[in-house]
Amino acid sequence: MNLVIATRNKKKVEEIRRILDGLDVNLYSLDDFPGCPEVEETEETFEGNAALKARAVAEYTGRAALADDSGLEVFALHGEPGVRSARYAGEGASDSDNLHKLLKELFAEPDYRRGARFVCVIALATPEGELTTFEGMVEGTIGEKPVGESGFGYDPVFYPEGHDRTFAEMGPAEKDSMSHRGRALQKLREYLESQTAA
């Protein structure tokens, strides 16, 4: 089976390859299809955006495509940054800009108001128009300052429930075992195994 990962984010591609390793699947990324247009995330839900990207890439490449939309929902901020996690500090914002804005928004919040969850929805689309989605979620809290060098996005401030280290302080295998994307990809992996075994 040929599968295109609908992203140019190298760290995301790395994470997906790691979790799907060992499957009888040839994985490609958008770097293998330089002409593929960027898909604008115009939907209001993670599922909507993931489906939009997966369908567009499957149609363009003529192969099954896998897209994810994920983000951080902070309870004290009524679910923000949510679907706008990557653009929280504005279009073209860096991870550092987004982190800085989040910490500023939460500056005066006490610990018990810093609850949050990471959500990931993965959409798998075929060129024939079939669509299947998989969701993963992990709850935790937002720290007061970035800690750790690994990961990307909001990893340096997110402490998963029951842990005293951020995602950015964890090695890849440890993070994959509990992260929102790890959980969604595990469901996708089981689905693909059942398809390739059939």
Q: Which amino acids are annotated catalytic?
A: 69
* Look-up of token digits 């929902």: 73
Measure the CA–CA gap between 185 and 110, rounded to whole angstroms. 33
Q: How many residues does the chain have?
A: 198
Strands 64-74 and 2-5: what pairing? parallel
Measure the CA–CA gap between 65 and 126, rounded to whole angstroms. 6
Helix (H) or strand (E) holding 52: helix 46-61
Tokens of 127: 């060129």
Measure the CA–CA gap between 33 and 37, rounded to whole angstroms. 9
Nearest to 28 by CA among 69, 52, 58, 55: 58
